[in-house]
Amino acid sequence: MGRLSNEDERAAAHARLFCPAQVRAVLGWLRRLGVPRCHRTDVAGQVWLNAWESWPRFDPKRGRPERWLNAITVHAASHYHERMRHRREELVERIDVADPAPDAAAAMEFDSIRTGTIDAVNALDPKLRFVLVAHDLNGVSMAQIAEEAGLPLSVIYKRRTKAIGALRDIIGLRENAEDFARRVGPQ
């Protein structure tokens, strides 16, 4: 009976290494090498990544595949411990976080902006409003709007562009009127 070819030996080594038993073995080696449980799976992931990346250079004639994987594990654990030696954590006092809920003034301002926007959209020409609401608020594709309206797609795009421009104009005019009213004051 002849010796296995190098490729057959590599295939056999691959089958022995990349299996659930070896995953457990790597975790056990990391435990014995002092890697804390909370970091063990991360370091094991690095071991398997290193093994996968260096697999093309693995030579079964140089030793057993388990020994090769163990050397990678020892190397990854060593790097882990080295990084942990240089890691510095600075403890700070507890930081009070502001209440994320909006206050009454912010809620009123939001309602005012929302109502103004709805009023501005409702002031648009119905043809323009239809395209803007369907596409930008309801998420309907421009092609589907064109098909439903029985119009060319280019017309729908032009209407949307006009709708956005008209909406900007309406909102701008309202803002200018509000600024003027604030400057003039109550009559």
Residues 180 and 124 in one domain: yes
pTM above 0.85, yes or no: no
Residue 168 covered by a domain: yes
Residues 127 and 80 in one domain: no
Which CATH number covers residue 126? 1.10.10.10
Residues 126 and 80 in one domain: no
Residues 64 and 121 in one domain: no
Residues 10 and 82 in one domain: yes
Which CATH number covers residue 69? 1.10.1740
Residue pair 57/13 in contact by the 8 Å Cβ criterion: no
> How many CA atoms within 13 Å lie on the side-chain side of 107?
5
In whole angstroms, what is the distance from residue 26 CA to residue 65 CA?
A: 13
Structure tokens at 152: 């060319």
The domain total for the chain is 2
pLDDT, one tens digit per residue, over 129-173 is 999 899 988 889 999 999 999 999 999 999 999 999 998 998 888
pLDDT, one tens digit per residue, over 3-17 is 567 777 878 888 887
CA distances from 103 to 96, 98, 100, 106, 110 (A): 17, 11, 9, 5, 11
Residues 71 and 137 in one domain: no
Residues 76 and 119 in one domain: no
In whole angstroms, what is the distance from residue 162 CA to residue 184 CA?
A: 33
Question: What residue numbers bound the domain in which 124 lies?
Answer: 112-184
Residue 102 covered by a domain: no
Residue 95 covered by a domain: no
pLDDT, one tens digit per residue, over 57-111 is 888 888 888 898 899 999 999 999 888 887 766 667 777 777 677 778 878 888 8
